[in-house]
Amino acid sequence: MSNDKPASYDLHGTHTITPDCPIDCLKAVPADTESEIHRQAGMLLRRLHDAAPPGGSTAGTERIASRAEDHLKRSGRLLEPAQVRLIRDHAAQLQEIAPLIPTVPTHGDAQIRNFLWDAPNRRLALIDFERAEVAPAVRDLVRLEYGPWDGQPHLRAAFLAGYGRPLTTTDQTALRNFAALDALSALQWGTVNNDKDIMVRAYRTLTRLSTADSP
């Protein structure tokens, strides 16, 4: 097997995997590289989001919001009453603002585990498009905002610099709405699959949303 492939970073846990490298030869991503990775992620997602004219269908967004009650029936026992109210409020708000959110081609699972970094050429690629769909662009930011950007605003700033525009007030509202529903879905999935890491992320997201929504 040839060994002339460039080293690539699998950013799940900020690790890098070199060609034919076993798991035990992981090493940390250089700190000064992270911002550039997120900047290029912004550029790539903007290109994807601009790949077709924005649409006005609200069906997908309304379907996501309407599934909240079904998910709550399955996972409600994992939540405090205040968290259930929080999720219902965000689902209702998302349905209200759905007509204000254009739909575009999206990746569907934009998170660091789906970033592939070519270290020698300092070039990022997005992988795993199996969940790609036409949806509000801001859905692609949920697992970044409530993942690597949490507590690291410089990474968010780098992404938005690459994306080429700031988030509107409606974008920011929709981002929080989608985050609440994503957390609920993560709790359900994490329980079924015994994935404690994803459940911790879901609870952390709900705590952050609860704090942000407090008067």
Q: Domains in the chain and their CATH numbers? A: 8-213 (3.90.1200.10)
What three-state secondary structure class fits 99? helix
pTM of the predicted protein model: 0.86
The string of pLDDT tens digits covering residues 134-188 is: 999 999 999 999 999 999 999 999 999 999 999 999 999 999 999 999 999 999 9
> Among 8-12, 22-26, 146-150, 189-193, where is mean pLDDT lowest?
22-26
| pLDDT at residue 22 greater than cutoff 90 | no
What CA–CA distance (Å, rounded) separates 173 from 19?
42
Please enumerate in sequence order all residues whose Cβ is within 8 A of that of 215, keeping only pairs 6 or more positions apart, or say none. Answer: none
| pLDDT at residue 17 greater than cutoff 80 | no
Query: What length does the chain have?
Result: 215
pLDDT interval class at 12 (50, 70, 90) = very low
**pLDDT average, residue stretch 197-208:** 96
What CA–CA distance (Å, rounded) separates 178 from 193?
22
What percent of the chain shows pLDDT beyond 70?
85
What three-state secondary structure class fits 39? helix
The string of pLDDT tens digits covering residues 82-125 is: 999 999 999 999 999 999 999 999 999 999 999 999 999 999 99
